[in-house]
A and B are shown apart, each in its own frame.
Chain A
């Protein structure tokens, strides 16, 4: 046989195998859709129940994702507020000029008393403050960004220096409440992990039971197919597809529900947000996050189906 004829033979064999594989999957796909169509209400109810079970971890994951994004943004934008001893602007400018020469300070700017008051009045509930006090009680301040390349120890040393420096009454770093936020995030993750795991197990159990009932209902058909020489793979494929569809649908329901709940929360959270960006970060779970929830649901569906079929096949004589 010439090399060309052999190559053609190999190609034809490869094509035939690919066609066979594709045909087996097309058949399994068709079977799975027929099985779901045969019980539309039951299939829909299963997907909804699973979606509700998955929605809670999906929602918590969305909030955690937003907080984590906020944390990393704040990490990159460390901001310190310096309150001067003197409210006189020339003194403040002299202090700012002196500090600007320090290479450890990336940038700094003066925010005068009027701007500080405008920021405060923009917060809900502070609108009547000026009427109440009669004059602006706020001092001008210096907003300083330390260099991002500073090591934590060097940053700590700089802060100590600033606090001891003449002319500065108070130096407030944003790290304090960021540390608190990080601790809350860590606690949240620690609580979320076991809860997520338990709910995932509950999803798996529901899927396992749904598929088991489906398998029992089609036990006669499975027996015939096996007697005709079907491999375990051939028998289990349609059920794996059913698990995949149910799991994906549940994931989609969970992603939609969590997005819906976050949108509902938007109004109430906006009142407490320090700025618009914070709210936006918390309330806009990424598309990637939603896709991850759907993929997680699909993976659970596949696993549940695989487990149900394996247990069923192992019990057959």
Chain B
């Protein structure tokens, strides 16, 4: 589903954020990406979401080299992606429901179907009672959950999340991670960047560790996960 082949990313005047990173994520696999701040987790996120291009190497999604994808093709590939941003990135003037409906509107789904699916996604993250609330009236944790609902509502092939539980309490974080694990069991490839090692241990999924832009470990999933 997703493959990094010797990927390096450097910025003009700013050193290398990634150095020859290679890994792959298969369909139905849940993978954690860990590392300290500045290790390169967010760069991986930006390369997959096509906000940036690799300086060397290839990032392949569904067999397509993202650096070579044309503008229209990139939009189509993004519709196969579910993105959870660290800073939520919700549209402030729209309700929680409208925010979650947005990917479905972009995909061209009819209004009734959109509403039904968005409502279900919000209920799944425990926000069934806050459908009409605007992001300003939601707590950071609730905003994070709206962001998660928006990412999963379209049932993407690949879900990538950048610190998705950063604003949530431990119990809710664990519930959200279990939701991701459940989505993976249903065939979705899930890649989660986090520095919360406690939750990584509890879920016991495959874990990649980055240090100074290098992939230093690829620990397989524990049998119990």
Contact = CB atoms under 8 A, between A and B. Distances in A.
Contacts of A27: 105
**In which size bucket is the chain B interface?**
20 to 34
Contacts of A220: 89
B75 A229 contact: yes
B103 A228 contact: yes
B83 A24 contact: no
A27 B110 CA distance: 12
Contacts of B102: 225, 228
Contacts of B223: none
**In which size bucket is the chain A interface?**
20 to 34
Interface in A4-36: 16, 19-20, 23-24, 27, 34
A226 B106 CA distance: 9
Interface in B69-120: 71-72, 75-81, 83, 89, 91, 93, 102-103, 105-111
B193 to A, nearest CB: 16
A3 interface: no
Nearest to B103: A228
B49 A221 contact: no
A41 interface: no
A226 B75 CA distance: 7
Contacts of B224: none
Nearest to A232: B71
Main SS of the interface on chain A?
Answer: helix
Given A221-B91, A227-B83, A23 B103 contact: no
Given A23-B111, A224-B91, A230 B49 contact: no
Interface in A96-154: none
Given A23-B111, A317-B51, A317-B52, A230 B106 contact: yes
A229 B111 contact: no
Interface string B150-177: 1000000000000000000000000000
Nearest to A231: B75
B93 A34 contact: yes
A232 B76 CA distance: 11
Given A34-B93, A224-B91, A317-B52, A229 B107 contact: yes
A219 B205 CA distance: 37
Nearest to B75: A231
22 contacts: A20-B108, A23-B110, A24-B108, A34-B93, A224-B89, A224-B91, A225-B106, A226-B75, A226-B78, A227-B51, A227-B89, A228-B83, A228-B106, A228-B150, A229-B75, A229-B78, A229-B80, A229-B103, A231-B72, A231-B75, A231-B106, A232-B75
Given A229-B79, A230-B75, A232-B75, 18 more contacts: A16-B110, A19-B110, A20-B109, A24-B108, A224-B89, A227-B51, A227-B83, A227-B89, A228-B78, A228-B106, A228-B150, A229-B76, A229-B77, A229-B103, A229-B106, A230-B106, A234-B106, A317-B51
Interface of A: 16, 19-20, 23-24, 27, 34, 220-221, 224-232, 234, 317
